[in-house]
Chain A
Amino acid sequence: MLNSLGREIPEYIEGIGKLEPFQGALAKLRKGWMDEPTIPAPNRAYLPHQSKVCKSLEEAIIRSNPHNGMTVSFHHHLRNGDILLVQTLNILHNMGIREITLASSSLNECHDPILPYLIDGTVTRIFSSGIRNQLGRAIALGVLETPVVIHSHGGRVRSIHTGKIKIDLAVIPASAADCEGNATGSHGKSAFGSIGYAVIDARYAKEVIVVTDNLVDYPCIPLSISQNFIDHVVVVDSIGDASKIATGTTRITKSPMDLRIAKLAADVIEHSGFFLPGFAFQVGAGGASLAVAKFIREKMRDKGIKGSFMLGGITSYCVDMLNDGLFETLFDVQSFDAVVSNSLLNNRRHIEIPAALYANPFNCGCITNKIDVVVLGALEIDVDFNVNVITGSEGYIRGASGGHSDTASGAKLTVVVCPSFRGRIPIIKKRVHTIVTPGETVHVLVTERGICVNPLYKELEENLRRAGLNIKEIHDLEIEVDTITGIPGPLEYTDKIVGIVEYRDGTIIDVIHQLKERV
């Protein structure tokens, strides 16, 4: 069957179930309720003064009823410094556990060591918002029989509370915790800031293990994760590589190209009609995205504009803007550097939020619904403004859906920033390899060679033209860039589906086919 973007979606996939085709960004939400029931969270009972502390991660796992076919979940707040996902799977593998469903909120390069477990059947299914490096390559080449499911951050919460992802065991690293499992990421030697993605896991997993390298006296404050959901507590020497968990401060790029694109994007925002007192803003931590914040900061100062809140992945740059009084509040679902942890802990206007509040589409309103302006990156964008942030030009899975489609769907102005080509590869395509974010939720594309406005948004285009910005038709820009780079030959795929890309409402926006290995 075809979805509304013309992508062929199978009706059923073995190991996944029946699929529902994407029908439009807000199609499922308009009626005001969700058809899928919310599953009950598991009931447990603990006796007074019963100890939860285990001697080792292995002991905690043994107490957690490990079994074949179980689903194990993790958060990715430790970024590329995480060591516990690999350790957990090593333990389960050594116990002979097979057919594990891995439900990590994202997978990074540091998780490459689990590749043998995908090959030998220890891990047979994966739900994640992002997959990279060796895992992404192996999955694209067909290492798993059952397709991986790529979801957004908001979509993951929906999947968990509707029972699409049924977590048997959640392993939650925390930089500080007490003996009852009250836990946080906001202090300790391995501080990583917000632990927002793990809150839903703690709530819905049958067994929850908090792992910390910093056991503090009861109670651990703040209670980012609270004890009433925690079964076991494990103290280890280290939860990860501190140098890769949180670096000092996020620096603004010095790349002239990123700065040029960011400057143009800031001009777009300024003249869009949405750069008003009280505006809500989100930017990523990547080169051009973060640099937009630098230029917006200058414009806010020049024009005396004070915003309402910044949301999302929070960097030290966002903290600076909060401290400068340019925004009232930071809502932090994920923190990007060490300075942020400190602010999260000490500034009451810097608020830790769970992923459900951040972006879950199936509730009474997540904060992404309140965004005025979001700036997002892209691996590819097509002439219909559909964006790919998951598969690379060579066909491997090498990115993350993350909050891309969540924020784009909520924002009044979604600005996608990217160079018009990278290396020799054009970024503007007739058709992207994989759609993650539908074009209807993308208002404007900013490249170094011109600004393209989605024809759905005429008033925006008029505003930007009136401001004298360099507006081009996206078809014209595509041709211009192709003239410089040439058109790359098509990738070759088999009929086998190796990944399905869920839109945030659970419908299927695209599938990823197995890449034919080049010889």
Chain B
Amino acid sequence: MLYIPGNNPAMIQQGGVYGADSILLDLEDAVALNQKDAARALVRNMIKVVDFYDAEVCVRINHLSTPFGLADLEEIVPLQPSAIRYPKTESPEEVAELLKIIEKIEDRHRLPHNKMTLHAMIETAMGVQNVFNIASKFSRVDAITIGGQDLTADMNIVYTPDGVGIDFARKRIIMAAKASHIDVIDTVFPDVNDEEGLRKETEYAKKIGFTGKAVINPRQIDIIHQVFTPTEEEIRKAYHIVKEFKINTAAGIGVFAIDGKMVDAPVVARAEYILKLANVTVG
């Protein structure tokens, strides 16, 4: 997911060419207070005319407690981007309130309530504490994300490259997402020149369960893709497992072994997930 400042027309225009799965047009932290109106108008117009190719388009609005949040919703909701990203989400009540406003706007514009989704950003200690209820209670919340910089600020700690200060939050958020069967996206890696550091952090994020990672520079996209894309060996192995599973199921066998290792339902589920990521079907 590529962050693009909402007040930069050149970057927005090129947003779709870098191969990101998702473009996040940011009206919040990337935009100075005196440019909020201009950014909102720019994002509104660019969404209408720019081809972002295969990338999903999300818009991060300002929080409703600011003077800009409501105006952002009034302009962006009628355009029905793939998702609205809501910053500093702290409670399910807050989400309910936000969805009520969104649906009112959608009703005014005769738009359905089930097309555009909501990404809840968890960036405060309170948000971390409430994350399961935020993630699980609303069908329109289809992803949660962690905002590392804001969270460390809220916790009064310094953000360190090893991410140790937010490790608990990361894992709690992941568990909430997994329990709710929605996506969970890791925070950005701020040093764009440290490719090794980015790779390491992304590998860790994948290992603990994140399904994607946000980037602040297009140069970071390839590394994220390399880490999250299954390797040829993983795909081959998964293909073998699913194929054997189908053969054995047809023969009425539930549990079987490949190379001496037991294959049961969880192993098959994991293999199917890998094939889904790799866009491979077993005939």
Count of inter-chain pairs, beta carbons less than 8 A: 22
Q: Mark B10-53, 1 if CB is under 8 A from A, else 0.
A: 00011001110000000000000000000000000000000100
Cβ of B78 within 8 Å of any chain A Cβ, yes or no, is: no
| Closest chain B residue, CB of each to CB of A483 | B51
Chain A residues, CB < 8 A from B13: 484
Cβ of B81 within 8 Å of any chain A Cβ, yes or no, is: no
CB distance from B221 to the nearest CB of A (A): 9
Docked complex: A468-519 residues within 8 A CB-CB of B: 480, 484
- B14/A259 in contact, CB under 8 A: no
Q: Mark A238-259, 1 if CB is under 8 A from B, else 0.
A: 0000000000000000101101
CB distance from A37 to the nearest CB of B (A): 53
CB distance from B235 to the nearest CB of A (A): 14
- A448/B14 in contact, CB under 8 A: yes
CB distance from A4 to the nearest CB of B (A): 35
CB distance from B80 to the nearest CB of A (A): 22
| Closest chain B residue, CB of each to CB of A449 | B17
Indicate which residue in B17, B193, B222 contacts A448 across the interface (CB closer than 8 Å).
Answer: B17
- B14/A257 in contact, CB under 8 A: yes
Cβ of A260 within 8 Å of any chain B Cβ, yes or no, is: yes
Cβ of A263 within 8 Å of any chain B Cβ, yes or no, is: yes
CB distance from A188 to the nearest CB of B (A): 35
- A259/B17 in contact, CB under 8 A: no
| Closest chain B residue, CB of each to CB of A254 | B219
> In the bound complex, how far is the Cα of B51 from the Cα of A480, in angstroms?
10
- B222/A256 in contact, CB under 8 A: no
Cβ of B197 within 8 Å of any chain A Cβ, yes or no, is: no
> In the bound complex, how far is the Cα of B194 from the Cα of A254, in angstroms?
12
> In the bound complex, how far is the Cα of B14 from the Cα of A260, in angstroms?
11
CB distance from A457 to the nearest CB of B (A): 24
SS class of chain A's interface: helix, strand, loop or mixed?
A: helix
| Closest chain B residue, CB of each to CB of A485 | B13
CB distance from B15 to the nearest CB of A (A): 11
CB distance from B280 to the nearest CB of A (A): 13
Chain B residues, CB < 8 A from A256: 18, 217-219
CB distance from B114 to the nearest CB of A (A): 31
> In the bound complex, how far is the Cα of B11 from the Cα of A256, in angstroms?
11
Q: Mark A260-278, 1 if CB is under 8 A from B, else 0.
A: 1001000000000000000
CB distance from A9 to the nearest CB of B (A): 39
CB distance from A121 to the nearest CB of B (A): 46
Chain B residues, CB < 8 A from A260: 17-19, 218
CB distance from B121 to the nearest CB of A (A): 24
**Which of A254, A256, A260, A448 has its CB near the most chain B CB atoms (within 10 A)?**
A256
| Closest chain A residue, CB of each to CB of B192 | A254
- A263/B219 in contact, CB under 8 A: no
Chain B residues, CB < 8 A from A259: 218-219
CB distance from B192 to the nearest CB of A (A): 8
| Closest chain B residue, CB of each to CB of A420 | B17
Chain B residues, CB < 8 A from A257: 14, 17, 218
- B17/A263 in contact, CB under 8 A: no
Docked complex: B161-186 residues within 8 A CB-CB of A: none
CB distance from B219 to the nearest CB of A (A): 5
> In the bound complex, how far is the Cα of B193 from the Cα of A254, in angstroms?
9
CB distance from B52 to the nearest CB of A (A): 12
> In the bound complex, how far is the Cα of B19 from the Cα of A254, in angstroms?
17
| Closest chain B residue, CB of each to CB of A255 | B219
CB distance from A270 to the nearest CB of B (A): 14
> In the bound complex, how far is the Cα of B217 from the Cα of A254, in angstroms?
10
| Closest chain B residue, CB of each to CB of A295 | B222
CB distance from B178 to the nearest CB of A (A): 31
Q: Mark B217-261, 1 if CB is under 8 A from A, else 0.
A: 111001000000000000000000000000000000000000000
Chain B residues, CB < 8 A from A484: 13
> In the bound complex, how far is the Cα of B51 from the Cα of A254, in angstroms?
25
Residues on B close to A: CB < 8 A?
Answer: 13-14, 17-19, 51, 193, 217-219, 222
3 pairs of A and B residues whose beta carbons are closest in the complex = A256-B218, A448-B17, A256-B219
10 contacts between A and B (CB under 8 A): A257-B14, A257-B218, A259-B219, A260-B17, A260-B19, A263-B222, A448-B18, A449-B17, A480-B51, A484-B13
Residues on A close to B: CB < 8 A?
Answer: 254, 256-257, 259-260, 263, 448-449, 480, 484
Known pairs A257-B14, A448-B17, A448-B18. 10 more at Cβ < 8 A? Answer: A256-B217, A256-B218, A256-B219, A257-B17, A257-B218, A259-B218, A260-B17, A260-B19, A263-B222, A484-B13
